[in-house]
Amino acid sequence: MAHPRHQRRPHRPGPLSMVLGGIGELLITSGLVIALFLVWQLWWTGIAAHEKAQAVKEQFTQTQVDSPKVAGTKHTDAPPAFTQVDYGQAIGMLIVPKWYGVTNNNMPVIEGTGEDVLDQAAAGHYTDTQQVGEVGNFAIAAHRRTNGNSFRRIDLLEPGDEVVVATQDTWYVYTVENYEIVEPHQVEVLSPVPDDPDAQPTERYLTMTTCHSLSMGEWGNDHRWIVHAKFSYWMPRSEGRPDSVLNDPEVN
């Protein structure tokens, strides 16, 4: 047996070690909280948003005129006027053929751009811009990240790509012209003539807006990705469908 005076005393951490240990535990806890928050933001909000979008889609498609799966005639005259709906009501469905198989290419278009609208994995119509098919600028917004990632692959759109709005009785078809990246205060992109707020419109435009960055390190709203398209043609749903959506199983 060792002599008592030769026995080692239990080691007690000093004040510095205790402080560093406490900081380490706080960092671990903070990391877990952040990780759970990101899972909720990126995954769970998407599931909930898509469920809401599906409910809107199912309800709206029940009101649509049946459209035979044949190529319809392209009408290039003035399209039918669309009657404005109330905030939160469906205008139609936004179909982006370029996104088929990549991301959601068939989503509700709802009046308004509040979070309650955009969080439904929907595209929201800026209420102070023109109606779909109207002379001027039919401008819409959607999330690029979280709550359905509706405009996640807006970067895939190129000049010549079609963007379709399907209302209850009409296909409105626009063709992409260009894109730009702007700061949030540059609201002239929503003008009746995009980027020219003093001009009087003579043509029909569609503008899509969303956040610029997909990077987790740049998750802020420091810039906007803007796509401009110009009206090409329309057709009654009763006559058939645009070629670009003819064989798309997601489109009613």
Q: What is the DSSP letter of 191?
A: S
E strand residue ranges, the chain:
90-95, 106-111, 123-125, 136-141, 162-166, 170-182, 204-211, 224-236
Interior/surface letters 129-168, b for 16+ CB within 10 angstroms, e for the rest: bbbbbbebbbbbbbbbbbbbbbbbbbeebeeebbbbbbbe
Cβ within 8 Å of residue 119, ≥6 positions away: 45, 49, 52, 143, 147, 148
Cβ within 8 Å of residue 180, ≥6 positions away: 189, 195, 226, 228
18 is catalytic: no
Choosing from 90, 140, 154, 211, the catalytic residue is 211
Whole-number Cα distances in Å, 195 to 69, 186, 198, 221: 38, 9, 9, 20
What are the tokens at 60? 């709206």
How many Cα atoms sit within 13 Å of 91 on the Cβ side? 32
Residues designated catalytic: 211
